[in-house]
Amino acid sequence: MSDLSAGAATLPDDVLISVRNLKKYFPIQAGWLRRKVGDVKAIDDVSLDIRKGETMGLVGESGSGKSTVARLMLRAYSLTGGSILFRQSDGSVIDVSNLTDRQMRSLRREMQMIFQDPYSSLNPRMNLLELVGEPLVIHGVGTQAEIRDRVAELLEVVGLRPEFLNRYPHAFSGGQRQRIGIARALALNPSFIAADEAVSALDVSVAAQNINLLQDLQEKFGLTYLFITHDLGMVEHIADRVGVMYLGRLLEVAPTEQLFSKPLHPYTEALMAAVPQPDPRGNRTRKRVPLKGEIANAANPPAGCAFHPRCPYAQPRCSAEVPALRAVEGGRQVRCHFAEELSLAGAVA
C-alpha cells in the first residue's frame, strides 16, 4: 500500500495526522426517482493538524460536524473532497483519503475510535473475551491462548479485573462499559484514538475516573487523541489545543489556555459565556447574554460567515464574504473577518 502516493505526501516532523480542506456533503434526495436536489454540507473545508502525543480537543454543538470529522479521519465515511495524511508507525506518510477499504483495514490497527454510548456500542451477545479480542481475531494476531492473555492484560490496563473475561456487557455499569470500549480500542496498539464524547454519558464521579484513565494511557502508550466533546470544562482540562466547530466549519483553533483566556472568534466567546459554571457567585457577576436563535440548517447555510445571523458583532461584510480560516499570531487560526479588531471575553482570567 505504500506504493500509493506515499512518496508524494509529506508532513512536518511533529505531526501525526493532518486533515486538509476536508469536505463531506450528504446528498438531499427528493421525489419518486430520488433525484439529488441539493447537499447538506456536513463538513466544509476543515483543515487541522494533530501533533504526535497531543490531545486535540474538538468542541461544538450538535450538528456542528465534530463527530463527522472523526468518522472521516477513520474513513467510516467516504470523503467528498480533501485529503487526510497519516504518519504510520514505520514513519511513512500515507494519504488515507484514497485508500481502498482493504487497505484501510490494515491501517485501522493504528487508528481507533471510542464511542459515547457504552450501551449501544457493545454487542450484548459477546462476552469480554470476544469483544476485546475481536480486533485481534480480525487482524489475525496471535493464537487463541495468546489472544486470551492479551485480553486479560488489556482489561487490567483499563482497570477491570481479568477474571471478568467470560462476562457479558449487561453485567457492567456505564463507566465500566466505557472501559471495555477503551480496551477494545487499545487491543491493536494504535497510535491515534478518536474519542467521541467518551465521558459525556457518565456521572461526574465516573467521568473523572475515566478521564484520568485516558490521561494515564496516553502517557503510558504515547497515544495521540482527538477528543470530541461539548463539555468545555472537560476539554479545558484534557486538551493541549482546541478546535471550535460550527455548522461544518472550523471557526477557531488555538492552544487551550489561549483559547479560554482570549477567544478570537465571537462564537467561541458566546459558547464560553453560555456554560454555567459550578460557581454560583461567579455566575451572578458574570455578564451572560444568551445567544439569539438556533444553529442554521446545514442544507441551507447562511451566505457569508455561517455564524453571522447570530453574531452580535456582525457587519455587512460578514453576510457577503465567507471568511477564510487564517493564521494569526501565537500559532492560532481563526475564521473571522474582524478577529483582530474585536476584544472578546474569555472564560478564564
Partner 1 sequence: MTNSTMPAERLLDLENVQVHFPMREGLVKAVNGVSYHVNKGEVLGIVGESGSGKSITARAIMRLLPKRAVDAGGTIRFRPRDGEEIELSALSRNSRAIRQVRGNHIGMIFQEPMTALSPVHTIGTQIMRTIQLHKGLSRSAARERAIDLLAKVRLPRPAELVDAYPHQLSGGMRQRAMIALAISCDPSLLIADEPTTALDVTTEAQILDLLKQLQAELGMAIIFITHNFGVVADIADRVSVMYLGRILETASVDDIFYAPKHPYTQALLRSIPRLGVDQGRRLPTIPGMVPDPFSVPQGCEFHPRCSHARAGLCDVKAPPERRFGSQMSRCHIADQFVQEPVHV
Which residues sit at the interface with partner 1, rule CB under 8 A? 61-62, 173-175, 203-209, 211-212, 215, 230, 232-234, 236-238, 256-257, 260, 270-271, 273-281, 283, 288, 290-291, 294-295, 347-349
Minimum distance of partner 1 from residue 18's CB (angstroms): 24
CB of 10 to partner 1, least distance (A): 31
The least CB distance from residue 176 to partner 1, in Å, is: 8
Q: Which is nearer to partner 1, 113 or 291 (CB)?
A: 291
Nearer to partner 1 among residue 140 and residue 278 (C-beta): 278
**Between 85 and 199, whose beta carbon lies closer to partner 1?**
199
Nearer to partner 1, 140 or 280 (CB): 280
Pick 242 or 325: Cβ nearer partner 1: 242
Nearest distance, CB of residue 136 and partner 1, angstroms: 28
In the complex, the smallest distance separating the C-beta of residue 322 from partner 1, rounded to whole angstroms, is 22
Smallest Cα–Cα separation from 180: which of 202, 193, 161? 161
Please state the closest distance from residue 262 (CB atom) to partner 1, in A.
13
Task: Find how far residue 8's CA is from the centre of its chain.
Answer: 27
What HEC string does the chain produce? CCCCCCCCCCCCCCEEEEEEEEEEEEEEEECCCCEEEEEEEEEEEEEEEEECCCEEEEECCCCCCHHHHHHHHCCCCCCCEEEEEEECCCCCEEEHHHCCHHHHHHHCCCEEEECCCCCCCCCCCCCHHHHHHHHHHHCCCCCHHHHHHHHHHHHHHCCCCHHHHHCCHHHCCHHHHHHHHHHHHHCCCCCEEEEECCCCCCCHHHHHHHHHHHHHHHHHHCCEEEEEECCHHHHHHHCCEEEEEECCEEEEEEEHHHHHHCCCCHHHHHHHHHCCCCCHHHHHHCCCCCCCCCCCCCCCCCCCCCCHHHCCCCCHHHHHCCCCCEEECCCEEECCCCCCCCCCCCCCC
Give the integer Cα–Cα distance in Å for 50 and 57: 10
Q: Which is nearer to partner 1, 165 or 206 (CB)?
A: 206
CB of 273 to partner 1, least distance (A): 8
Q: Considering the complex, what minimum distance in angstroms separates the CB of residue 175 from partner 1? A: 7
The smaller minimum CB distance to partner 1, of residues 233 and 330, is found at 233
309-317 long-range Cβ contacts below 8 angstroms, 24+ apart: 310/267, 310/270, 311/266, 311/267, 312/266, 312/270, 313/266, 313/338, 313/342
Residue 120: all three cell numbers together: 449501544
Whichever of 108 and 237 has its CB closer to partner 1, that residue is 237
Tell me the closest approach of the beta carbon of residue 263 to partner 1, in angstroms: 12
Nearer to partner 1 among residue 147 and residue 245 (C-beta): 245
